[in-house]
Amino acid sequence: MKANKLTPNFEVTDIIQTVKFYQETLGFNLIMAVPETQDGIDQAFSEEKEYVYALVSKDNVELMFQRTDTFKADVVFSKGFPIGASVSFYLEVDGVGNLYQEIKDKGIMATELKTAWYGMKEFYMQDNNGYILGIAEKA
């Protein structure tokens, strides 16, 4: 097997609010969104539509967001599991200190910025769905 890419698919309750969080907090861009009717792909959100899926990206990182009802239908063994995770998604960035200050200025709860024993300057935060994001830069 050759592994080509890993793109996390987050189960979320509100696609638009989740994308907005990632845009405003971490600078991600909306690549595409699938409306509830699942009859096409939108490049931008329409106020007249509800959405079940979105793909966002920033530099070399892509994330998918899927609304709970369709996620549970597609990933049947996830039924009964709560949203959130006992895993953290570790994102390596440039400029972790500046990003940390922006996160704090926005009132988003985060751990202290510190340099770990393995040489990464990092902090952890939660997104608006309860997923844990580790944000780090080589010290």
Same domain, 76 and 92: no
Same domain, 14 and 47: yes
Rounded mean pLDDT of the chain? 95
**For position 80, what pLDDT does the model report?**
87
Q: What is the CATH number of the domain that holds 38?
A: 3.10.180.10
Element (H, E) at 86: none
Mean pLDDT of 60-87: 91
Same domain, 76 and 89: no
Same domain, 19 and 49: yes
Q: What is the CATH number of the domain that holds 114?
A: 3.30.720.110
- Give how many domains the chain has, as a whole number: 2
Read off the pLDDT of residues 20-59 as tens digits, 9 standing for 90 and up. Answer: 999 999 999 999 999 999 999 999 999 999 999 999 999 9
| For residue 2, pLDDT beyond 90 | no
Same domain, 19 and 69: yes
- CA gap 123, 6 in Å, rounded: 22
- CA gap 122, 90 in Å, rounded: 9
Same domain, 5 and 73: yes
For the chain, strand residue ranges (E) read 9-12, 29-35, 51-58, 61-67, 88-92, 114-115, 120-126, 132-138
Higher local confidence (pLDDT), 78 or 94: 94
Same domain, 56 and 92: no
Under DSSP, the state recorded for 35 is E
Tell me which residue of 119, 56, 127, 65 sits closest to 92, measured CA to CA: 119
